[in-house]
């Protein structure tokens, strides 16, 4: 496959990828749905009339929407037909777009001239806790080595409901929050700026397919048709606030201060060449959580930290999606097992993705081992947790045995200083 | 104040109430916004042109929407003007509607001929844990009398994020869920139908006002302009599933199986005559949680349980909103303290509202004291938890010193048997 759009072999967005996003640009102030190709965006709003396959010819309106929900709400065969249509339109042998200079002019926008937006109305966002290394690390730090993993952990893909309103697109700054903490056990709580501000390296899956009904279950074996595609996610976390508030109902204000996602949704179709063995599960889960097929992905993940005072970013973690113990099919089955309904555009976060070595951990909490082992950055700064002005950049990409590379672009955000409270 | 619409003195919906809802009827299959008056609904879609006050004359379109979000997204002065306009239109001295038989015919729908719908797109739903009696009861049952209240409880209005998609309107049946439980501590978990199915007597507040930005806080003193009005809520809970899953991230599938709300939103303006002293707080909270004014409400709450086999419902609990330790202003301040943004239509649940006597508890868990004290119903049935076919009916109403009564209507739901899982 070769496109008439030229791009570097290191591009995140070759013709094999074709992730979906929502953008505005100087050409169009209204939000349009687009697909990334090299350094360009193909504006699907402009070329919606070219989706003439049997399934989509009566559904072209979904490409005219300002969000991806309507397209996500179709079915996998629709998504596959859309992908084939776009690949064909971009193929070097296809002249429809290539030789129509007026249409080409309208249909392509430079990514660097576009502003990206949250690509869907996220009706509900859940976040899981599916990395065994992350859960074990946190367990050791807070409960000791003996009881590191909660007793339910290998039976249930543990998750909780998060906040949809504060999901923001990559590039949006995050403000260090004020909140309550308990600096000394048994003493009085303190109110002030968070002192243990952290990132969490995650990926998140957008739900697609027609909405389900309240009371309907989607077991793991049937989950695939509900999975649209993935983005990178930084689940910013105020560790000291979390520690004081989370018993007994879980994290709340420590997490709802902002959650960043990358703008391009890489589809399951694009990720299929990078499927690898599922993580071995030493306790056989209940049947509703079982699926026989491989549904784990070799997605290389990196975290850069760039202090405000330095032009140099340091790669502080190299992890991989494949380290997750629970698959996204199992997460989805857990989400719905008691009858919770799904809507296209819902988002399932993976939880922090940590590997089994100390350079592959997905949070400052683990990388600095609760602040006991400061990280040294390339500019010689030290970090236990995030400092004001730090920019955190998540990256993810896959390479197959033939060297074909697809990527997720960046998920980045800068931490701004706390804003004093007026009372 | 007297309306030309006649109603009984025991009606939940006198001219002093005027709650908002969304309905369809044989006359209109599209969703319309309406206001309850006696046994009727005034269809605001039909009379939107009569909102000619200075603030609303250019905003009449909000009454043509299919949901209340746009109206909620205006400001308190708009809401007050709308209330005055509706009260005037319904007043016995006003002839505009009263004497226009054609308009009257179109503008009024019998409640019993209408179908009610969830009144707003609920972007995010949070649930709190603000009844000191409920939290204490649960604490005694699960952690013993010494440590009944978590140490953070009197400092933080504890809350967590819930599931928006499965919020359903009163009358929607709820299916007993399947899920994982741990019948014996330390033994193997079990998968099957929930055995400890419960209701939770709650109220919930819809958020109004223009959306806030990520990073923006709304402290308790400034919270009032964000509070639109209240509904009754039944936060159906699978206790055995909850117990096994909730450590460490909080309740998840035990709660997202369905949450019922009553269809009529009773506004803060209607509730003002029923404001009473706030619950005494023996630990002074941090300044962001303080407000000097009274913002507690004398709302009498009742729970009826009607077995399928019996025509007779038994009132199993009599509680009151005023038993809440934390006010809704304090809940809202907590929701936003780290910068979580709000959207009109967001919903804040109060948590189970239990009084200090055993006949005022807001859940079967407490009423039967974990199953140790079965309740006897009027038909001589016994109940520890809910049985298949049970209908739970929540009611709420206020009466002021002059005998003026406003109510919330019913929030009811029937528990259907579990549906076996196909694997």
Please give chain B's pLDDT, 423 residues, in tens.
Answer: 899 999 999 999 999 999 999 999 998 899 999 999 999 999 999 999 999 999 999 999 999 999 999 999 999 999 999 999 999 999 999 999 999 999 999 999 999 999 999 999 999 999 999 999 999 999 999 888 988 999 999 999 999 999 999 999 999 999 999 999 999 998 999 999 999 999 999 999 999 999 999 999 999 999 999 999 999 999 999 999 999 999 999 999 999 999 999 999 999 999 999 999 999 999 999 999 999 999 999 999 999 999 999 999 999 999 999 999 999 999 999 999 999 999 999 999 999 999 999 999 999 999 999 999 999 999 999 999 999 999 999 999 999 989 999 999 999 999 999 999 976
Question: To the nearest whole angstrom, how far is the Cα of A91 from the nearest Cα of chain B?
Answer: 40
What pLDDT, on a 0 to 100 scale, did the predictor assign at position B423?
61
Q: Which of B32, B134, B155, B291 is the catalytic position?
A: B134
Question: Chain B partners of A333 at a C-beta cutoff of 8 Å?
Answer: none
Cβ within 8 Å, pair B251-A254: no
Question: To the nearest whole angstrom, how far is the Cα of A115 from the nearest Cα of chain B?
Answer: 18
Render pLDDT for A177-211 as a digit per residue (tens, 0 to 9). 999 999 999 899 999 999 999 999 999 999 999 99
Q: Is A84 annotated as a binding residue?
A: no
Q: Which of B164, B244, B254 lies nearest to residue A152, judging by beta carbons?
A: B244
On whether the pTM is more than 0.95, the answer is yes
Q: Is A294 annotated as a binding residue?
A: no
Question: Chain B partners of A245 at a C-beta cutoff of 8 Å?
Answer: 152, 156, 158
B190-229 core/surface letters (b: 16 or more CB in 10 A; e: else)? ebebbbbbbbbbbbbbbbbbeebebbebbbbbbbbebbbb
Cβ within 8 Å, pair A160-B160: yes
Chosen from B173, B196, B252 to mutate, greatest number of chain A CBs within 10 A: B252
What pLDDT, on a 0 to 100 scale, did the predictor assign at position A143?
83
Q: Which of A61, A134, A161, A190 is the catalytic position?
A: A134
Taking phi over 0 as left and psi of -120 to 50 as alpha, with beta for the rest, A25 belongs to beta
Distances (CA, A) of A161 to A136, A243, A250, B152: 21, 18, 9, 21
Q: Do residues A314 and A304 lie in contact, with contact meaning Cβ atoms separated by under 8 Å?
A: yes
SS3 assignment for chain B: CCECCCCCCCCCCCCCCCCEEEEECCCCCCCEEEEEECCEEEECCCCHHHCCCCCCCCCHHHHHCCCCHHHHCCCHHHHHHHHHHHHHHHECCCHHHHCCHHHHHHHEEEHHHCEEECCCCCCCEEEECCEHHHHHHHHHHHHCCCCCCCCCCCCCCCEEECCCCCEEECCCCEECCEEEECCCCCCCCEEEECCCEECCEEEEEEECCCCCCCCCCCCHHHCHHHEEEEEEEECCEEHHHHHHHCCCCCCCCCCCCCEEECCCEEEHHHHHHHEECCCCCCCCCCHHHCCCCCCEECCEEEEEEECCCCCCCEEEEEEEHHHECCCHHHHHHHHHCCCCCCCCCCEEECCCCCCCCCCCCCCHHHHCCCCCCCEECCCCCEECCCCCCCEEEEEEEEECCCCCEEEEEEEEEEEECCCCCCC
Rounded Cα–Cα distance for residues B14 and B1 (Å): 10
What pLDDT, on a 0 to 100 scale, did the predictor assign at position A423?
61
Q: Please give the structure tokens belonging to residue A15.
A: 């013709």
Cβ within 8 Å, pair B215-A258: yes
**Confidence class for position A355, pLDDT limits 50, 70, 90:** very high
**Confidence class for position A142, pLDDT limits 50, 70, 90:** confident
The answer on pLDDT for A324 being more than 70 is: yes
Cβ within 8 Å, pair B337-A178: yes
Rounded to 10 degrees, what is the CA torsion of A97, A101, A107, A110?
120
Rounded Cα–Cα distance for residues A33 and A120 (Å): 10
**Confidence class for position A147, pLDDT limits 50, 70, 90:** confident
If you average pLDDT over every residue of chain A, what do you get? 97
Known active-site residue B78: no
């Amino acid at each position: 496959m070769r496109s008439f759009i030229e791009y570097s072999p290191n591009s995140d967005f070759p013709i094999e990828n074709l992730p979906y996003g929502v953008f505005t640009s100087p050409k169009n102030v209204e939000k349009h749905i687009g697909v990334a190709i090299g350094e360009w965006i193909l504006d699907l709003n402009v070329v919606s009339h070219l989706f003439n396959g049997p399934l989509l010819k009566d559904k072209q309106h979904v490409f005219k929407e300002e969000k991806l929900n309507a397209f996500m709400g179709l079915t996998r065969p629709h998504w596959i037909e859309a992908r084939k249509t776009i690949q064909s339109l971009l193929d070097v042998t296809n002249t429809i777009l290539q030789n129509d200079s007026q249409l080409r002019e309208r249909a392509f926008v430079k990514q660097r001239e576009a502003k990206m937006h949250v690509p869907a109305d996220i009706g509900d966002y859940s976040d899981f806790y599916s990395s065994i290394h992350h859960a074990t690390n946190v367990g050791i730090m807070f409960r000791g080595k003996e009881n590191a993993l909660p007793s339910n952990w290998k039976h249930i893909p543990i998750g909780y409901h998060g906040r949809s309103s504060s999901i923001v697109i990559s590039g949006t700054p995050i403000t260090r929050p004020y909140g309550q903490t308990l600096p000394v056990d048994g003493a009085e709580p303190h109110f002030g700026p968070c002192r243990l501000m952290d990132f969490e390296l995650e990926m998140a899956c957008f739900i697609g397919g027609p909405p389900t009904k309240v009371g309907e279950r989607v077991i793991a074996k049937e989950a695939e048709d509900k999975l649209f595609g993935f983005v990178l996610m930084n689940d910013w976390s105020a560790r000291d606030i979390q520690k004081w508030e989370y018993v007994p109902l879980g994290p709340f204000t420590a997490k709802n201060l902002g959650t960043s996602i990358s703008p391009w949704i890489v589809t399951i179709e694009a990720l299929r060449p990078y499927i690898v063995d599922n993580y071995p599960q030493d306790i056989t889960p209940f049947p509703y959580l079982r699926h026989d097929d491989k549904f784990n992905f070799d997605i290389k993940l990196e975290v850069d930290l760039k202090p405000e005072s330095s032009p140099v970013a340091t790669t502080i973690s190299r992890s991989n999606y494949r380290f997750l113990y629970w698959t996204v099919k199992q997460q989805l089955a857990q989400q719905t097992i008691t009858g919770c309904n799904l809507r296209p555009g819902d988002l399932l976060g993976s939880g922090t993705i940590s590997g089994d070595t100390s350079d592959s951990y997905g949070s400052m909490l683990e990388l600095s081992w609760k602040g006991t082992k400061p990280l040294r950055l390339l500019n010689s700064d030290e970090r236990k947790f995030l400092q004001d002005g730090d920019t955190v950049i998540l990256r993810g990409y896959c390479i197959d045995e033939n060297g074909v590379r697809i990527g997720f672009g960046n998920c980045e955000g800068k931490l701004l200083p706390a804003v004093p409270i007026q009372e």
